[in-house]
Amino acid sequence: MLLTGAQIIMECLLEQKVDTVFGYPGGAVLNIYDALYEYSDRINHILTAHEQGAAHAADGYARSSGKTGVCIATSGPGATNLVTGIATAYMDSVPMVAITGNVNRDLLGLDSFQEVDITGITMPITKHNYIVKRVEDLADTIREAFFIANEGRKGPVLIDIPKDVTGAKFEYIPKETKAKDSRPLPPKEWMDRAAELLKNSKRPLIYAGGGVLLSNAAPELKKLAEQLDAPVSCSLMCQGGFDQTDERYIGMMGMHGTKTASLAIAGCDLLVAVGTRFSDRVTCNTSLFATHCPILQIDIDPAEFNKNVDVEIRLSGDAKAVLQALLPMFPQMEHKTWMESIGGWKAEFPLIQHTDSENGVTPQMVLEKLSELTQSEAILTTEVGQHQMWAAQFYDFKHPRQFITSGGLGTMGFGLGASIGAQVANPDKQVINIAGDGSFHMNANELSTAAKYNIPIIELLFNNEVLGMVRQWQKLFYDGRFSQTTLEKKTDYEKLAEAYGVTAMTIAAKDDIEPVLRAALAEQGPVFINCIIDRDLNVLPMVPAGASVEEPMLEIDWKA
């Protein structure tokens, strides 16, 4: 059937089972938006307030659903506004396809109005990108882009399409979606060596990363923990990959991990790392990380082996498939003494947050009550900063894809757009964005998107009037010189939310916590909660720069 390039884009999106796209129109994508009007009964379009919000929404949609997120932007500034969102997805291995328009082919390279070399700009932050200069190539390029976004280690792909290509006509021939490739298992010799390590270990520790979620390997991770009789620590990106209410869970590892996790890494005789790249925020001082024990690493990307830490056994492949093959290769283990030690440390070193503020409200109180009221079933997105760590520490995530955060790039302003995408992808679930006032001001305009579509997210703002995480470092390492981290903006948050069309609520004292959260959860539309907290609350434990992950600080007496 003879279709325009824009119509071919729509048909290819339908081939890929895409039901929702996020974007913002402009001159170079007029043909695409005209086709979206024609296909509006089959493809839902969410108009965000800013292209960056569209990229973050597509990202949140992908992370929470396991599908591929799609965003659309016009040429020039529209395309460049996607860059931070694309980089965020790239760092966290999120499957996303970004479609940008460009000027007509005869205007390329002439510094034309709203022209930019977006493929050149995004080359370092995409798995692959394209500029499609022939309508004959358009359909196969889109199909290939979706395949690459999901093949192996997932990630974003960008397709740049000149305007006249979207207006040209060509014969469209439907094709079935290309199946995801099947990665080979590691060599038998490596699998045998891994099984021997597992059988001989007396004090094993499992450390799980975001690859567990991306490969849907949470059931296999649980089976591994039970069969190996081992404690489990998760990275920030794997929150919910292992049930945090399970007695085997010992909290996060790394700069803001638990004391139990630090004692476990110091005491284990085998570290089993599944789907993790050993980020510097986890290893802290890499030269001191797990040097006393062998490391068994399972990862889909061979480039991650021995990149940050040296590993004894390298099992390259999809985490789910590798674990399924490995589990029958060793017997049920029992490590009673080791697990008793783990239980004793958990009881001795619980996470407790203290405050001297007049209202007495702490994020721990709020998040634990939120976990209780939602039965730990909500999806939480976050911005980046102290509130991000508190969310990971104090909400009990029980399932994969419940915790959505910018881990690798650390993008302030990510969470609100991501919450919109997550809510659109999961209309039957409660979605809450945990924010700080610094991050909130970066993309507050997306409240208008939530209000426009009546998307029932909750924006929970921990308001301390400072850039809390940076301020915490200034306390410790800069003698309390709070250079540009005391915000004290004049924003009236409740009025701002209401001006956008969002219901506003306030938590100003401990007695407000439960009734306000109950009221917010009962609302049928978007809600903003201004939760006032002490500016000197810290994220603890904390491993200072250059220190060993085995030696976290449990308190900060910075005034002394």
Cβ-contact 274, 221 below 8 angstroms: yes
Pairing type for strands 403-404 and 44-47 reads unpaired
The label of the residue with tokens 């040209």 reads 168
Amino acid 523: pLDDT:
97
Name every residue whose Cβ is closer than 8 Å to that of residue 196 and which is 6 or more positions away in sequence.
none
Give per-residue pLDDT as tens, 486-535.
Answer: 999 999 999 999 999 999 999 999 999 999 999 999 999 999 999 999 99
The residue annotated as part of the active site, out of 163, 259, 320, 346, is 163
What pLDDT is attached to residue 358?
80
Question: Under a CB-based contact definition with an 8 Å cutoff, are residues 533 and 466 in contact?
Answer: no
Give mean pLDDT, residues 125-134. 98
Q: How does pLDDT run across 244-254, given as a tens digit for each residue?
A: 999 999 999 99
In this model, does residue 180 exceed pLDDT 70?
no
User: Is it the case that residue 558 has pLDDT exceeding 80?
Assistant: no
pLDDT-derived band of residue 556, with 50, 70 and 90 as boundaries? confident
Residue 232 φ/ψ, nearest 5 degrees? -130, 130
- What is the rounded (10 degree) CA torsion for 21, 27, 31, 32? -10
Which residues on neighbouring strands pair with residue 505, listed in sequence order? 529
The secondary element (H helix, E strand) that includes residue 3 is: strand 2-4
- In this predicted structure, what is the pLDDT of residue 467? 96
Distance of CA 82 to the CA centre of its chain: 17
Say whether pLDDT at 559 is over 80. no
**Residue 394 is a catalytic residue:** no
Whether the pLDDT of residue 560 is over 60: the answer is no
pLDDT in tens, 43-80: 999 999 999 999 999 999 999 999 999 999 999 999 99
- Helix runs in 374-444, H state only: 386-394, 414-425, 437-443
Q: d(Cα 121, Cα 75) in Å, to the nearest integer?
A: 13
Burial of 147 (0-12, 13-18, 19+ CB in 10 A): middle
For residues 223 and 327, the answer to whether their CB atoms sit within 8 Å is yes
Q: What percent of the chain has pLDDT over 70?
A: 99
Length of the chain: 560
Task: List, in order, residues 6 or more apart from 350 with CB less than 8 Å away.
Answer: none
The answer to which of 25-29, 236-240, 280-284 has the lowest mean pLDDT is: 280-284
Residue range 456-469, pLDDT digits in tens: 999 999 999 999 99
* 274 C-beta neighbours (distance < 10 Å), count: 28
| 333-357 pLDDT tens trace | 999 999 999 999 999 999 998 887 7
Residue of 542, 537, 239 whose CA lies nearest to 366: 537
For residue 181, pLDDT over 70 is answered with: no
With beta carbons less than 8 A apart as the criterion, state whether 163 and 113 touch: no
Q: Domains in the chain, ordered, with CATH?
A: 2-171 (3.40.50.970), 188-348 (3.40.50.1220), 363-532 (3.40.50.970)
Spatial separation of the C-alpha atoms in residues 93 and 114, rounded to whole Å: 30
pLDDT, position 177? 76
pLDDT the model gives residue 42: 98
Q: Catalytic: 113?
A: yes
Q: Is 163 in the active site? A: yes
Q: Is the pLDDT of residue 131 over 90?
A: yes
Q: What is the CA radius of gyration of the chain?
A: 24
Half-sphere exposure for 287 (CA within 13 Å, toward CB): 3
C-alpha closest to that of 195 among 298, 334, 328, 297: 328
What pLDDT, on the 0 to 100 scale, is given for residue 355? 80
DSSP code, position 305: T
Q: Is the pLDDT of residue 158 over 70?
A: yes
What pLDDT sits at residue 183?
80
Question: What's the DSSP call for residue 429?
Answer: S
Spot the catalytic one: 67, 114, 133, 329.
114
Q: One of 16, 22, 51, 289 is an active-site residue; which one?
A: 51
Tell me the average pLDDT of the chain: 96
Given the residues 365, 389, 442, 469, the one annotated as active site: 469
Structure tokens at 147: 């395949």
Per-residue model confidence (pLDDT) at position 178: 66
